[in-house]
Structure 1
Amino acid sequence: MRKPACAALAVMMSLCFSPFSQAGQAWESYKARFLMPDGRIVDTGNGNVSHTEGQGFAMLMAVASDDKAAFDKLWQWTDTTLKNKENGLFYWRYNPVEPDPITDKNDATDGDTMIAWALLKADARWHDPRYSAASDAITKALISHTVIRYAGQRVMLPGANGFNLNSEVILNPSYFIFPAWQAFADRTHLQVWRELIKDGQTLLGKMGSGTANLPTDWVSLAAGGKLTPAKAWPPRMSYDAIRIPLYLHWYNPQSPQLTPWRSWFGQFSREKTPAWVNVTTNEYAPYMMEGGLLAVRDLTMGQAMSEPEITAKDDYYSASLKMLVWVSGR
């Protein structure tokens, strides 16, 4: 009787822990490709710069992989190198080859949000209140410097400076990280986070443009409430906006806001889905989705997620999307 019980227990244990070991393989590959010894993540598709987005992504991955050593290295470099002591947020971009690696002193709220969210998760996993205290300081700074009420909506600007133009504000809907906002709401019980979730979903429901009926990477919200593609960027659903369905699904796999994405993706076979669409001209990218873009498509379409394989073909962003899709399901 003892042997079958032990065997059954072994099978159960393998089922319980296999996702962690699988994620560990992908995470080890990711670290080997993109994590520098000093704790910074390099964007191999963008001249090996680093930015808060990548630091936050990797911090989330490290928590999910139970890799405290990597997490602490990532957080220490981020906090030491990118922290803006004047406002409590983080300089968004670091270029190691420039005399001043931080020429732009602005933040990017998706990076700030990801870092704060990862810190909350780190405390939950490793029971170190210093992590959540640091998270609280960041979320407080986000509210103080980037969250406003505009055109009757509560919005988080893409950065503390340069996006409120009085007659309009510029939004990046891929910065609406609903599962993180929910985590902040649960922790702080502040109404502002629930308002951001509610109003963010309302705005997303009105952002669809063109035949594709999808949001563009950057969106203008006019004082009167009108939403249009922001003029300073190509009117495309592209490499920023692809994160919108990822975060929607992460927050609520049954979100009605996923419907336009499923309709768009469903027009094409998996391998023939264009990488972007110009919502003004209805022009498609001359190349198809692959790598991390396809991973987001698969998640949105409800296809089973298997262990991500980080290949030599994946640049930083493609690999990051693959990993985030995997983490979102866990």
Structure 2
Amino acid sequence: MRFGKDGLRVAARAGVWRVGARALAAAETFVSAVVGAVALTFAASGSASAAPAVATGAVTTAIAATATPTATTATCGAAEWPRWQQFKRDFISADGRVIDVGSADERTVSEGQSYALFFALVANDRAAFDTILQWTEQHLARGDLTAHLPAWLWGRDADNRFAVLDSNASSDADLWIAYALLEAGHAWHERSYTARGAVLARRVLDEETASMPGLGLTLLPGPAGFHPDVDLWRVNPSYTPPQVLRGLATRLPDDARWPRLLASASRVLVDTAPRGFAPDWALYRAHRGFAPDPQTHAESAYNAIRVYLWAGMLDRRDPLAATLLAHYAPFASFIAAHGAPPEKVDTSNGEAGANMGNAGFSAAAVPLLDARGQRALADAQLARAAQLDRDGAAGYYTSVLSLFALGWREGRYRFAVDGTLAAQWSTPCRVALQ
């Protein structure tokens, strides 16, 4: 779920996260089994490439192998990330809440918290990570991420009090939170992050998936409200970044459900986009396949723009990379013909509306265009995004898309072929982007 408007700025201040003994004990009981399974995997394979942890040398290799062709050299280490610092000033409160600045209810959604955790990890900003995590757990997960999926919506209610406005969870946020926690646990050698991430990831599998006849184990957008009929389900393609699912499978190899979830996600990403444009939402009917979602009229817009972003940031050796880059060629062709991504497309016929997407849309297209070898077109989208940013303050969602896309373009992070995170700061070297 997404949100974002322009408005007043809020200051960010670091805080310290503390874990309750009861929650940590329960989580560590589970994660100890995970660690044991990982150790057995290492012993059986005898191969560094099979390891869920990415060593320093592997990180360097992953970044170099997946980088975009350019002459730029990225400096490793804890380099300042001005765009992240600006995001914190604009959208994150002192106590770690990502705010939809300008919304009437001053809302926060779990998606915002999940992305902020990821960006804080990429920036090696552990103080911000802890503050954001603490707020997320206390206010969205009733104080315990190991016991409760986080509510997706929090804000000012009809009585002018701040509270959970909708307790249903959002699976994309839950996946990103679990992923960020597991990657942070590895990068910062913090067992409590790993424990939380492992338990939350398992809870996603237990509570936010369904076995759909003819499709298999599939991610639902949330635990409730997406199964309107006995043989009908509603899905959101942008909720399943392949690298995140693959990374979770790597970090948690004891659960065979992750590869099954990745397999169905691959079909969702391809089969819901028959004309090369991903829809925001789609329906799946048992044994009959996908159909347009009548509520959103088969529209591709503010959810779907992330599908192209995830595809573009895949490691080139990922089994899905070539398929998705080819399948979404019509999206790239539209940009080449019109100079910008479309704001909205009817995915049933491929017809675009008159309006072009905002700065975030152009930024989100950059990794896909780079991955397809359309470097000049990607550069033009960067220039367009920068110009639109100069013309007016960027809202939350535009800023998120830009952080993902431009952080990747600058070489601040890569997703390795096994889905794990290769952060620039974690490598004591200089990595030439090839």
TM range (shorter): 0.7 to 0.9
Whole-Å separation in 2 of the counterparts to 1:40 and 1:138: 20
Give the corresponding residue for 2:91.
Answer: 34
Q: CA RMSD in A?
A: 2.5
TM-score (ref. length: structure 1): 0.87
Q: Encode CA deviations 1:275-323: one digit per residue, 9 max, x unaligned.
A: 1112246542332123111011121111468899776521000000111
CA contact 1:88–1:137 (8 Å) conserved in 2: no
Q: 1:291 to 1:20 in 2, by over 3 A?
A: farther
Of 135, 140, 153, the residue aligned with 1:77 is 135
Q: 1:255 to 1:280 in 2, by over 3 A?
A: same
Give the corresponding residue for 2:277.
Answer: 214
Q: AA paired with 2:327?
A: P
SS at match of 1:72: helix
Whole-Å separation in 1 of the counterparts to 2:343 and 2:248: 32
Q: 1:206 to 1:145 in 2, by over 3 A?
A: same
Whole-Å separation in 1 of the counterparts to 2:99 and 2:156: 10
Alignment of 1:228-267 (within 5 A): 228-253=291-316, 254-267=321-334
The CA deviation at 1:90 is: 0.6
The CA deviation at 1:204 is: 2.1
Q: Encode CA deviations 1:231-285: one digit per residue, 9 max, x unaligned.
A: 2223211110111122223334433122232322223346343211122465423
Q: Aligned pair 1:185/2:252, yes or no?
A: no
**Greater RCO, CA 8 A, separation 6+:** 2
The CA deviation at 1:221 is: 0.3
Whole-Å separation in 1 of the counterparts to 2:405 and 2:242: 15
The CA deviation at 1:97 is: 4.8
CA contact 1:174–1:243 (8 Å) conserved in 2: yes
SS at match of 1:149: strand
Of 334, 343, 352, the residue aligned with 1:284 is 352
SS at match of 1:101: strand
Whole-Å separation in 2 of the counterparts to 1:16 and 1:204: 32
Alignment of 1:55-94 (within 5 A): 55-83=113-141, 88-94=148-154
CA contact 1:154–1:200 (8 Å) conserved in 2: no
Alignment of 1:287-302 (within 5 A): 287-302=355-370
Q: Encode CA deviations 1:165-186: one digit per residue, 9 max, x unaligned.
A: 3220100110012211111111
Identical positions, percent = 24
Alignment of 1:1-330 (within 5 A): 15-17=73-75, 21=79, 24-44=81-101, 46-47=103-104, 48-83=106-141, 88-98=148-158, 99=161, 101-152=163-214, 153-165=216-228, 166-189=230-253, 190-209=255-274, 212-253=275-316, 254-269=321-336, 271-280=339-348, 282-302=350-370, 303=375, 313-328=393-408, 329=411, 330=413
Q: 1:163 to 1:138 in 2, by over 3 A?
A: same
Give the corresponding residue for 1:8.
Answer: none
Q: 1:20 to 1:46 in 2, by over 3 A?
A: farther
SS at match of 2:75: helix
The CA deviation at 1:87 is: 5.4
Q: Encode CA deviations 1:188-240: one digit per residue, 9 max, x unaligned.
A: 1122111111221123221124xx43231111000123201112223211110
Q: AA paired with 1:325?
A: A
Q: Which runs of 5+ in 2 are unaligned?
A: 1-71, 414-434
Whole-Å separation in 2 of the counterparts to 1:255 and 1:46: 40
SS at match of 1:63: helix
Whole-Å separation in 2 of the counterparts to 1:87 and 1:158: 19
The CA deviation at 1:49 is: 1.2
Number of matched residues?
314
TM-score (ref. length: structure 2): 0.67
Q: AA paired with 1:205?
A: V
Whole-Å separation in 2 of the counterparts to 1:21 and 1:96: 37
Give the corresponding residue for 1:11.
Answer: none
Q: 1:67 to 1:243 in 2, by over 3 A?
A: same
The CA deviation at 1:15 is: 4.8
Greater Cα shift, 128-137 or 213-222: 213-222
CA contact 2:221–2:239 (8 Å) conserved in 1: yes
